[in-house]
Structure 1
Amino acid sequence: MRRLTLALSGLIGAMGVAAAAGASHGDSRNLGAIAAIGLAHGPALLALGLAGRGRLPAIAATLLAMGTIIFAGDLGMREWLGHSLFPGAAPLGGLGMIGGWLAIVLVGLAWNGPDRN
Structure 2
Amino acid sequence: MTLSLFVLIAGLMGAAGVALAAAAAHAAPGVGLDSAAQILLVHAVAVVAGAAAVSAGLAWRPLALVALAGFVLGTLLFSGDVTLRAFAGHRIFPMAAPTGGSILILSWLVLGVAAAVRVSRGG
The aligned counterpart of 1:8 is 9
1:54-98 C-alpha deviation (Å, 9 max, x unpaired): 101100001111000111110011000001111121121111111
Aligned partners of 1:111, 1:87: CA distance in 2, in Å? 37
> 1:18-41: per-residue Cα shift (whole Å, max 9, x none)?
111111215234210111101110
More displaced 10-residue stretch of structure 1: 14-23 or 57-66: 14-23
Paired position in structure 2 for 1:78: 85
Measure the CA separation in 2 of the matches of 1:10 and 1:28: 26
Deviation at residue 51 of structure 1 after TM alignment: 2.5
Higher mean alpha-carbon deviation, 15-24 vs 37-46, is at 15-24
Amino acid at match of 2:24: A
Q: Give the alignment partner of residue 32 of structure 2, picking from 22, 27, 30.
A: 30
The question of 1:69 aligning with 2:70 is answered no
Query: What residue is the counterpart of 2:58 in the other structure?
Result: none
CA shift for structure 1 position 108: 2.3
Equivalent residue, structure 2, for 1:40: 42
Q: CA RMSD in A?
A: 1.9
Q: Which of 89, 99, 107 is 2:96 aligned to?
A: 89
Gaps (5+ residues) in structure 1? none
Tell me which amino acid in the other structure corresponds to 1:71: F
Structure 2, unpaired ranges of 5+: 56-60
| Count of residues paired in the alignment | 115
Identity rate, percent: 35
Question: Partners of 1:15 and 1:99 in 2: how far apart?
Answer: 23
The answer to whether the 8 Å contact 1:12/1:38 transfers is yes
TM-score using structure 1 length: 0.88
Structure 2 Cα separation of the partners of residues 12 and 27 of structure 1: 20
